[in-house]
Structure 1
Amino acid sequence: MIEAIIRKFAGSPFTLSKLNTAAVDRISGAELRAALPDMLLKGQVAAVKKSWGDRLYYIPGDVLFNYWSHWSSLDSARMVPGNITLVQAAKRGLVSDLFRSLSWIAHHGLPLTAKGTIHQKSLNKWLEQIELAEKDLVGLDLRYPHQEAYPARAAVLLDMLLVLGVIRKERGSWSLNAHELSVWLSRSAQQMNDMLLHEVLLRYVPDDVTLSHFAFRLIAADLVEGQWYSLQEVCVSLTEQRMLPGELPEDKQLWMRSWLEALSGLGWLDLGENREGELVFRWSVKPFSHQNSESQLGAEELFYIQPDFEIIVPPEVSFRVRWELELYCENVTMDVMSIYRLSRTSIAAATQQGRTVEEAIDFLHNGSAGIPDNVLLSLKQWAKEMGRTSLAEVQLLRCKDEEAAGRIAAHLELMGVLEPIGPLAFIVDPNQRNKVEKVLEELSLAPPRPGLGQSPQLQYIRLETAAEIAKQEAAPNRDLADQPAWIYNGRDYQFYERDISIPKRDQLFPGMQDIPGVWLKELRKYHPSTARKIAQQALEWDTKIILRMDEQLVELIPERLEGDENWHIHGLLMNPDMNGKDLKTALRQVSLGPEQWEEMRILLPKI
């Protein structure tokens, strides 16, 4: 039953009256309606209620994913032979672009204008970190708030960050949520890709059954990672399954090409051309792939520190580790193998975020295959030079040791600017503060920015431990799964109240109390006028009629009545004993008059 509904509606909403239109072959509309309560209870179908009480039904996203990814009845699309010209390799990917976005927000924030949009300068600087391009998304025709201010790639990134719950909008900027960030960065790359493609399919495919079938068709198990397939062959496989019409309008063909281009820009598909110039594609990284087992928890992959202070980061290194690398190092490249660089400047910047050099050394020891001696020596030297002083709220310059205090007291430019208080402290003239900080920088004794080292709310988030994450996840009412869509795809049901009520029998089959019960219970011979009323009722319920013809029981799916006194009923006639036979032989179109059968009754399915 659920397959018939998916084939007809995909993810689009439908009413109870429209459910009949999903009837196909042996399945009647009545059978679909009778199955609805059970499908609602099992979560195969969900419902919402409009403000005036009307109900809308729809197939939840998880049901669609499960159906398509395990659909074994699908005719396999044929693989494209060799001689493929690569047109566009899969880009770095949405996982990577989101990570760069999170790091950027942690370091720089995303300040907002009075209108609630990101400052143009900050927006441009942020998007410089992103590989996803406008041309990757242009054909999807996305609709979203502040469309005049944000390019499509910024809208997609904001939408994904919002649905993951990792950012929130405050009065003056977008900020990070520490718990949700910790949860997200604790996932494997495969888990991230699974979640992101799930959201992309549910959010950016229009409310169009044909386009939905095409987009979800790509995740079916027969399209394996690393093999080339043509767009045409995929469409043919859907047409053979009666999921697409024989001739596709040009606008739908253009959208399908645009969808493949978007998936390439988001890091999942390679695009190419075959010898005939047809568009072909292959999964570079395929989420929901059965050949990719879920990442196993084991020893953490290590990164490699080079004597020249560069750090080589293999793809298996976790995003939790990368988050700390983003703090202590400068990112050089982010690719399959990412490169970071340690420097005095990067370590100093980390101390401005409330970390210490000792913490940096511990992190590098634990996460790497070893710290070269010259790198460790430099880190220890920087530790001596950093964090030895701090500016107190009362403009007090404190020294960590007497050697630092002596160097400061002896400096000519600071004489008369600082007032000593004991052997390790000086009062700073507020009007000379900039001068004091400049001299301390020259002496390699610059303190952290005021208050940052002491602040209970650090700018760069310390990720929660696994135990802290587990404790938060166990707390009630922490469900971020139903984040509203920021990019509008045309499906209105997301704006309505969830409805968990189950329709009763008289709602599914109105008027039952107004007909004789014998119409449903016994095979009888009726006067032609009564037989017409029975046929009319079966039509209204879109249910089958059992007929006894030539001493044999057959089932009729009525389609229309014709005539009054000399009437005929048109429909599909089937033999109940031919369930395993080919539909072409089991079903036949007929036009019958009441004199052509001996007995009849309405066949109402059980609920």
Structure 2
Amino acid sequence: MDVTSTQGNWNELLADELLVLRRCFVRYAAQPMKEEEPMQLTQGALSGVETKLALHGLRSRGWLEAVTKSWGERILYIPVDRLPALYDMLLEQTPMNGIHTDHPITVHEAMTGLESELLHVLSRIAIQGVPLTAKGTIHKRSLQKLNELTPFRPEDLEGLGLHYAHAELYPVQTVVMIDLLLSLGLLVKETVSFRIQEAELATWIRLSAGQMRKHIFDTLMERYGKAEAPMQHFRYMLCAVSQYGGTDEWISIQYLLQWMLQVGLIPQNSLSGDDSTNSAFIDIVPTIANLKGLEDETVSDFNFNGSFMEDIMGWLKALTAFGMGDWGQTTSGEICFRWNVSVTDLLRPYNDEDTHQEQGAFYVQPDFEILVPPDVAYDVRWRLECCCERVTGDRMVVYRITRESITEAIELGMEAKEIPALLDKYSRTGVPEHVRLAVEQWAGNVGRTAFVTVTLLRCGTQEDADMVARHPALEGLLERLGDKDFMIPVHSAEKIRKALAAIGLSPRLEPKNADEPAHHYPLLTEIENLDAGRSLFSQEGRAGLVYTGRTLHFYEQEHTLPDPSDYFPERSTVPSSWTKEWRSYHTSTSRQLMEQAIRWQAAVGLRISGKEVKWIPESVVSGDPWSVTGWYASGMDEETPSRATLQPSDWSDMRLLVPFT
């Protein structure tokens, strides 16, 4: 059976499927889990085979996915794109009130213009390059330039606790900048340097700022957030509660954490100094009674430990550094956060139909400055980056056009006539006449003289040179420079080499390590009819600088499901009466039925004192009489199963509980 990708709602799931999904979600978020771990989470609430069938249903509907390691071990996980619906489920089942707090007295505002800052970094990399040493590290001089370019501050990113190679050389703010470009696919590391991926860049600069922000946000959430369930829960819950107010509303972090603790998303050790990752989560299935007192608790009643709160603060500072929101503190010291982006749109699956590009224009000033508002398309900005000097970067980016910037642009491959044409086409109020004349003059002056790469042919004697000059096959290919030297075009070198060899004057090979060609600035012409959705900028598994700890992309994705009939081996040998009807059996037959249930990991229905109960047998203990240990189970989320030992005399009738009769 093949896995489907249906996107049904969570409330369309069967009761057992919902119970399994909720427990896996609360415990693991979207982190990987071994195949047997859902069985442990539902122990006593569902039988083993009920859990297997529920997992089968969840995988068939796309709520769970699986990968297989090379030795056959199966790993399950909830896809990240399913998480928002599950947090909405929690909020629907357990509404949150009082999440907002007063305006803080101290506000740390979000950085603005990250998209244009990254464009500027890419432009500088295209012009200057990023060479690597023999050890694969960035050259010191290039690293210094990158440190000056990064839009991030170290104090805003240190709390993420990122791990990366050469930490003694690379500052965290530069690592995150380069890693972000690598993980977006805009940059790739090669043997001798980092290189811009032109196809991906062509797609990137055709996106709107909002679409760029979505891909950046996806990378931030899953690459720089810690790969631990409690922190993943916090990241997504902070997004989910944005539905309770607009971008001006401040969210109380303490209240959010206390709500998460009550519903089981945070482990109990968050309230103490114990940082052990093996500490038990709070009761995985919260009851309504657990939540009734939530509004009566005060912030001071919940004292989260230092390590956990450091992770929380590290994340809030990173969100601010990436321009997603502001964080602050109230007069009482309470931490709060507010979004300044529509986070629900950022979490929505990418749709090619959403693709649209800004259509704004810039303003050319009499002092040669160019004011670029936020609504100017990024492919236009990319060409401005080539032919102008950037003065400031923020929501309004300011460039200045100079003689030097025009000279550099033309040397990088921009046609002289394209520069005034670019200004004319996208200037909202036109180009001041004296600016136009200066630009045309500066552009016209470039190239009146030029450095040309040629090859010098030097002969050993004047007689050899005279022989070369007289050879009819070389006529028109050589320009004599004195007694023994000739200048030849590079593209004719091979033809001349063969002709010289034919007359016994075969030249030595040219020396290696010739001067490298000048940098070429990519994508200087307008791009038409480009499919802006074809590149996956948030693709998992791209090689970056940061060690994320995520390994699922290394394993083979499973696209088929096991046959449910395999869960019931030798089914034909089991008497049909065991599954069809309630009956009283001889003690030996009762034992056989109970042992069959254990082999199938199935439940048994028992009538005890006239009441039907669901019993999940675990093991049969020999004796006179024999006994069975197991669980009383309700199959309900609200009740905690109880363990006991029974003897045949404790029940009257019984039936094997399986999904067939």
C-alpha displacement of 1:125:
0.8
Name the SS of the counterpart of 1:332 in structure 2: strand
1:254 match = 310
Is residue 315 of structure 1 aligned with residue 374 of structure 2? yes
1:230 match = 252
Name the SS of the counterpart of 2:338 in structure 1: strand
1:19 match = 38
2:444 match = 384
C-alpha distance after superposition, 1:428-471 (max 9, x if no partner) = 99x9xxxxxxxxxxxxxxxxxx997xx8x83343367242447x
Answer yes or no: is the 8 Å Cα contact 2:325–2:339 preserved in 1: yes
Alignment of 1:260-409 (within 5 A): 260-289=316-345, 297=356, 300-369=359-428, 370-394=430-454
Answer yes or no: is the 8 Å Cα contact 1:79–1:227 preserved in 2: no
Residue 524 of structure 2, aligned match among 444, 447, 462: 462
Answer yes or no: is the 8 Å Cα contact 2:605–2:656 preserved in 1: yes
Deviates more, 1:113-122 or 1:458-467: 458-467
Alignment of 1:101-120 (within 5 A): 101-120=121-140
Answer yes or no: is the 8 Å Cα contact 1:182–1:464 preserved in 2: no
Is residue 495 of structure 1 aligned with residue 580 of structure 2? no
1:599 match = 653
C-alpha displacement of 1:556:
4.3
C-alpha displacement of 1:559:
7.5
C-alpha distance after superposition, 1:257-312 (max 9, x if no partner) = 21112222222121100121021111122433489999773761111111121111
For residue 81 of structure 1, what is the amino acid of its counterpart?
T
% same residue = 32
Name the SS of the counterpart of 1:502 in structure 2: coil
C-alpha displacement of 1:96:
4.2
Answer yes or no: is the 8 Å Cα contact 2:185–2:197 preserved in 1: yes
1:135 match = 155
TM-score, scaled relative to structure 1: 0.78
Residue 63 of structure 1, aligned match among 82, 104, 108: 82
C-alpha displacement of 1:351:
0.8
C-alpha distance after superposition, 1:454-504 (max 9, x if no partner) = x8x83343367242447x949xxx998343353333343333233334233
1: CA distance between counterparts of 2:538 and 2:253?
A: 36
2: CA distance between counterparts of 1:180 and 1:336?
A: 24
C-alpha displacement of 1:244:
1.7
RMSD: 3.8
For residue 266 of structure 1, what is the amino acid of its counterpart?
F
Residue 161 of structure 1, aligned match among 158, 181, 197: 181
Change (3 A) 1:532 1:390: same
Residue 481 of structure 1, aligned match among 536, 539, 547: 539
Answer yes or no: is the 8 Å Cα contact 2:39–2:51 preserved in 1: yes
For residue 604 of structure 2, what is the amino acid of its counterpart?
I
How many residues are aligned here? 544
1:445 match = none
C-alpha displacement of 1:65:
4.4
Answer yes or no: is the 8 Å Cα contact 2:365–2:432 preserved in 1: yes
2: CA distance between counterparts of 1:364 and 1:428?
A: 45
C-alpha displacement of 1:601:
2.3
Change (3 A) 1:150 1:54: same
Change (3 A) 1:77 1:270: farther
Is residue 194 of structure 1 aligned with residue 214 of structure 2? yes
For residue 174 of structure 1, what is the amino acid of its counterpart?
F
1: CA distance between counterparts of 2:521 and 2:567?
A: 57
Is residue 7 of structure 1 aligned with residue 26 of structure 2? yes
Name the SS of the counterpart of 1:218 in structure 2: helix
Answer yes or no: is the 8 Å Cα contact 1:83–1:275 preserved in 2: no
Residue 145 of structure 2, aligned match among 125, 129, 142: 125
2: CA distance between counterparts of 1:570 and 1:104?
A: 68
Unpaired stretches in structure 1, ≥5 consecutive residues = 397-425, 432-449
Name the SS of the counterpart of 2:552 in structure 1: helix
2: CA distance between counterparts of 1:563 and 1:276?
A: 64
Answer yes or no: is the 8 Å Cα contact 1:93–1:132 preserved in 2: no
Deviates more, 1:43-52 or 1:342-351: 43-52
